[in-house]
Chain A
Amino acid sequence: MLKTESKIHELENELKLAKLKIKKTVAVLKRRTFELNTTNNKLESTNKMMEALLDDQSSRLNIIVENSPFGIVLTEKGKLIKINKALQNILGYSQEELLSLTIKDISHPDDLYNSLKLIHRLEKGSIDNFFIKKRYLKKDGTYVICKTNVSAVRNTYGKVKYQVALLEDITLVEQQSKMLKALNLLSISILGKNDLFDISWEIAKNTADHLELEDCVIYTVDEEKNILTQVAAYGKKNTKGFEINNILTVPIGEGIVGTVVKTGKPELINDTSLDDRYIIDDNVRLSELAVPIIVNNKVIGVIDSEHSLKNHFKQEDLETFTNIANLAAAQFNNAISLANEKKIQAEKNKLLIKLAKSNDELNNFAQVVSHDLKSPLRSMSALISWIQEDNEGGFDNETNNNFEKLLKKVDKMDHLINGVLKYSSVDKVNETIQQVDLNKLVKDILQVIHIPSNITIILKSELPILYSNKFRMQQLFQNIISNAIKYNDKAVGQIFIDVKEYDNKYLFSIQDNGIGIDEKYFKKIFKIFETLEVSDDNSTGIGLSIVKKIVTMFDGKIWLESEVGKGTTFFFELNKEQKINTEIV
């Protein structure tokens, strides 16, 4: 029994111990569970935070992508998988439409090769990104030119997973620069060209080439015939160089180009089949652009281009053509005025040659006449002398007197002939300009000419040294001084020679106290063969006309002051540096 009791007791103790253990374990469990819960809660909240953060970032990125002015596209193995709004706008497709397309579908076939080459290098890993200028096909069938930047997005193995491309539409800039380039090249090509034909061809060729036109034709207006004529046609119409096959002429006011001339306004025709003004040249073409070339508010020509397709020409093309027309107008204007100038010059030259010829003829005439007149005069004079000699004492006084008178008339005639010769410069000297010391020249003259004892000649001031022609200066001074001596009737004759210096000229004066000249003769005395007194054998009336001619020859002036009975002063102005006015010689 005791044994049993003790066993029970033992068992009871063990139970107590076990209970205690369980209690302890539950407590630990309880604690652990709590801890776990807390951690879980923490984890959850962290997770939520992370999720929120991720959402935020991707939407921000989206905002950037969607609002970018540049087209952005993400591609995977050539397929478009993400296209931003800007690119949709550039290409004219919706997001859905684009998702079914590949890069190849929207590339210009001519640009594909270059871009595929670069993509290949990107995939090989030799480059990470590249830049290309290429054309993309729009939904409406036209192309846009884009600056494109392509970057690779690689996976952990370095393989290209995606490609990101950034596109900038530069179509407008390209067109403008193309237009500018075309205009620039055109202006260079017509620079210095003065022939209407040359200029027209350059314009037609350059316009067609640089603007990629099917043709370009230049018409000019023929005002007399009231028509337009093709002067240059580049494109299909011309096959062999600068020559037009079957030149078309259009009456002004008819056809599209004729209308442009009449109104002075450009015409842009989108469908010529709907325009009954259209005149067929070598072929029917559906679009036409015609712009007037206007010089001084007058249409002088038309630049015209046709295209086989409808709606080919745009407002920009019209602007370009207008610019070209302005350029052409300026050059045509130059050419026209140059042509006119040349024409005038040619006429002038013709006239000059004619003048020179008649001048030569006149000189020859004077020479021939002088010889032909002088010779018989000498014969007459000799014959008269011989008759006198052979009949010495055989004639009465009256006959002898008549013979003397006859001889004097012959003398007078000889004087006249010599005078004409001098005046007409048949005895022309070398018209060289050199330093002429007038002081010495006048003193030499005074040595040579006969000065009666009652006359004194006074040099009031030192005469200058002139750049002039010595012979002409001598003729000038000698004639005036001789006149002053010849027409002096005073017991004490005085002649004063004086000079005053001005900026670029000298004013000479030769003053006498001779018989004087009535004012009414002031002009007349400078005319050839005019003498004021009863003609004698010595005065031919040529001296002062020679003086006048010389002064005029040197662009100078001559005039006089005089009082009958008291004397005369001749004034003449000469430039310090003289040039011979050859037209008067």
Chain B
Amino acid sequence: MSLKILLVEDDQIEILKFERALKKLNYTHDILNANNGEEALIICENDTPSLIFLDLNMPKMNGLEFLSILKKDNHLKYIPVTILTTSNNHQDKIDAYKIGIAGYVLKPLRYENYVNNIKTIIDYWLVNELVKNDFHLTEGADVKNRK
């Protein structure tokens, strides 16, 4: 099964790292890329992803701002969002969980560890009924149609 994964990340090496990790894992999921929250919102409106990896520190619209807008949208709020950041800041964690996230993962230093983490997360969502049945997509679409 193929997932549509949105990576919201401004660092080009990080984007490269993510693509390379998926390639190394022989995953063929679709990767959408946004350099900041603004771009991510536009992508979400046009092409709803099944999973989002979100960096916190970004120019223009940062991760938490993007997350707040996303969670207020009846259609998009069902998309699982995993924070992928270097920020070990306690307040960031609390804020993110308050707004609503599916996970908070620190970017490990070592590339091998990074690949492992990404694998674990994607594998988890692959076995997850919520994603498999595109539950959030149909529900979200219904809500959107009803408006």
B and A form one assembly: yes
Chain A residues within CB distance 8 Å of chain B: 367, 370-371, 374-375, 377-379, 381-383, 385-386, 407, 410-411, 414, 418, 421, 426-430
B17 at the interface (CB under 8 A from A): yes
Chain B residues within CB distance 8 Å of chain A: 11, 13-14, 16-17, 20, 57, 86-91, 107, 109-112, 114
Residue of B nearest to A413 (CB): B109
Residue of A nearest to B93 (CB): A427
Please determine whether A375 and B11 come into contact, CB atoms closer than 8 angstroms. Answer: yes
Please determine whether A379 and B13 come into contact, CB atoms closer than 8 angstroms. Answer: yes
Please determine whether B110 and A428 come into contact, CB atoms closer than 8 angstroms. Answer: no
Min CB distance, B115 to chain A, in Å?
9
Tally the A-B contacts, defined by beta carbons under 8 Å: 51
B112 partner, pick from A377, A379, A385, A429, beta carbons under 8 A = A385
* A-B contacts besides A375-B14, A410-B109, A426-B89, 6 pairs, CB < 8 Å: A370-B86, A371-B86, A374-B107, A378-B114, A379-B17, A428-B91
Residue of B nearest to A426 (CB): B89
Residue of A nearest to B108 (CB): A378
> What are the residues of chain B within 8 A of A379 when measuring CB–CB?
11, 13-14, 17
Residue of B nearest to A388 (CB): B111
Residue of B nearest to A373 (CB): B86
> What are the residues of chain A within 8 A of B90 when measuring CB–CB?
427-430
Q: How far is the CA of A489 from the CA of B23 in the complex (A)?
A: 46
> What are the residues of chain A within 8 A of B109 when measuring CB–CB?
377-378, 381, 410-411, 414
Please determine whether A382 and B114 come into contact, CB atoms closer than 8 angstroms. Answer: yes
Please determine whether B13 and A382 come into contact, CB atoms closer than 8 angstroms. Answer: yes
Residue of B nearest to A383 (CB): B13
Q: Which 4 A-B pairs have the closest CB atoms?
A: A385-B111, A379-B13, A374-B86, A382-B111
> What are the residues of chain A within 8 A of B86 when measuring CB–CB?
370-371, 374-375, 378
> What are the residues of chain B within 8 A of A421 when measuring CB–CB?
88
Residue of B nearest to A428 (CB): B90
A427 partner, pick from B11, B13, B88, beta carbons under 8 A = B88
Min CB distance, B83 to chain A, in Å?
14
Please determine whether A386 and B11 come into contact, CB atoms closer than 8 angstroms. Answer: no
Residue of A nearest to B10 (CB): A375
Q: How far is the CA of A372 from the CA of B105 in the complex (A)?
A: 18
> What are the residues of chain A within 8 A of B112 when measuring CB–CB?
385
B89 partner, pick from A367, A383, A386, A430, beta carbons under 8 A = A367
- Assuming A379-B13, A379-B14, is B110 touching A371 (CB within 8 A)? no
- Assuming A371-B57, A379-B11, A379-B13, is B88 touching A385 (CB within 8 A)? no
Please determine whether B107 and A418 come into contact, CB atoms closer than 8 angstroms. Answer: no
Residue of A nearest to B107 (CB): A378
Residue of A nearest to B13 (CB): A379
Q: Which of A370, A427, A428 has the most CB of B within 10 A?
A: A427
Residue of B nearest to A429 (CB): B90
Q: How far is the CA of A148 from the CA of B49 in the complex (A)?
A: 108
- Assuming A375-B11, A381-B109, is B88 touching A386 (CB within 8 A)? no
Residue of A nearest to B86 (CB): A374
Q: How far is the CA of A426 from the CA of B93 in the complex (A)?
A: 13
Min CB distance, A151 to chain B, in Å?
94
Min CB distance, A482 to chain B, in Å?
19
Q: How far is the CA of A371 from the CA of B112 in the complex (A)?
A: 21
Q: How far is the CA of A385 from the CA of B111 in the complex (A)?
A: 7
Q: How far is the CA of A421 from the CA of B91 in the complex (A)?
A: 14
> What are the residues of chain B within 8 A of A375 when measuring CB–CB?
11, 14, 86
> What are the residues of chain B within 8 A of A386 when measuring CB–CB?
20, 111
Q: How far is the CA of A385 from the CA of B90 in the complex (A)?
A: 30
Q: How far is the CA of A407 from the CA of B86 in the complex (A)?
A: 18
Please determine whether A371 and B17 come into contact, CB atoms closer than 8 angstroms. Answer: no
Q: How far is the CA of A428 from the CA of B94 in the complex (A)?
A: 11
Would you list 28 pairs from A and B whose C-beta atoms are within 8 A, ordered by A residue? A370-B86, A371-B87, A375-B11, A377-B109, A378-B13, A378-B14, A378-B86, A378-B107, A378-B114, A379-B17, A381-B109, A382-B17, A382-B111, A383-B13, A385-B110, A385-B111, A385-B112, A386-B20, A386-B111, A410-B109, A411-B109, A414-B109, A421-B88, A426-B89, A427-B88, A427-B89, A428-B90, A430-B90
Min CB distance, B98 to chain A, in Å?
13
> What are the residues of chain B within 8 A of A428 when measuring CB–CB?
90-91
Residue of A nearest to B55 (CB): A375
> What are the residues of chain B within 8 A of A370 when measuring CB–CB?
86
Residue of A nearest to B85 (CB): A371
Min CB distance, B47 to chain A, in Å?
28
Residue of B nearest to A368 (CB): B57
Min CB distance, A266 to chain B, in Å?
68
> What are the residues of chain B within 8 A of A382 when measuring CB–CB?
13, 16-17, 111, 114
> What are the residues of chain A within 8 A of B20 when measuring CB–CB?
386
- Assuming A371-B57, A375-B11, A386-B20, is B111 touching A381 (CB within 8 A)? yes
Min CB distance, B57 to chain A, in Å?
5
Q: How far is the CA of A383 from the CA of B17 in the complex (A)?
A: 9
Min CB distance, A409 to chain B, in Å?
12
Q: How far is the CA of A413 from the CA of B78 in the complex (A)?
A: 39
Min CB distance, B129 to chain A, in Å?
33
> What are the residues of chain A within 8 A of B114 when measuring CB–CB?
378, 382
Q: How far is the CA of A411 from the CA of B110 in the complex (A)?
A: 8
Q: How far is the CA of A378 from the CA of B114 in the complex (A)?
A: 10
Q: How far is the CA of A374 from the CA of B85 in the complex (A)?
A: 10
Residue of A nearest to B88 (CB): A427
Q: How far is the CA of A377 from the CA of B114 in the complex (A)?
A: 13
> What are the residues of chain B within 8 A of A378 when measuring CB–CB?
13-14, 86, 107, 109, 114
> What are the residues of chain B within 8 A of A371 when measuring CB–CB?
57, 86-87
Min CB distance, B4 to chain A, in Å?
24
Q: How far is the CA of A381 from the CA of B17 in the complex (A)?
A: 11
Q: How far is the CA of A190 from the CA of B11 in the complex (A)?
A: 69
> What are the residues of chain B within 8 A of A430 when measuring CB–CB?
90
> What are the residues of chain A within 8 A of B11 when measuring CB–CB?
375, 379
Q: How far is the CA of A381 from the CA of B20 in the complex (A)?
A: 14
Min CB distance, B55 to chain A, in Å?
9
Q: How far is the CA of A367 from the CA of B90 in the complex (A)?
A: 12
Q: How far is the CA of A302 from the CA of B16 in the complex (A)?
A: 84
Q: How far is the CA of A410 from the CA of B108 in the complex (A)?
A: 12
Q: How far is the CA of A386 from the CA of B115 in the complex (A)?
A: 12
> What are the residues of chain A within 8 A of B14 when measuring CB–CB?
375, 378-379
> What are the residues of chain B within 8 A of A410 when measuring CB–CB?
109
Q: How far is the CA of A46 from the CA of B109 in the complex (A)?
A: 144
Please determine whether B88 and A418 come into contact, CB atoms closer than 8 angstroms. Answer: yes
Q: How far is the CA of A382 from the CA of B13 in the complex (A)?
A: 8
Q: How far is the CA of A418 from the CA of B86 in the complex (A)?
A: 11
Q: How far is the CA of A463 from the CA of B57 in the complex (A)?
A: 43
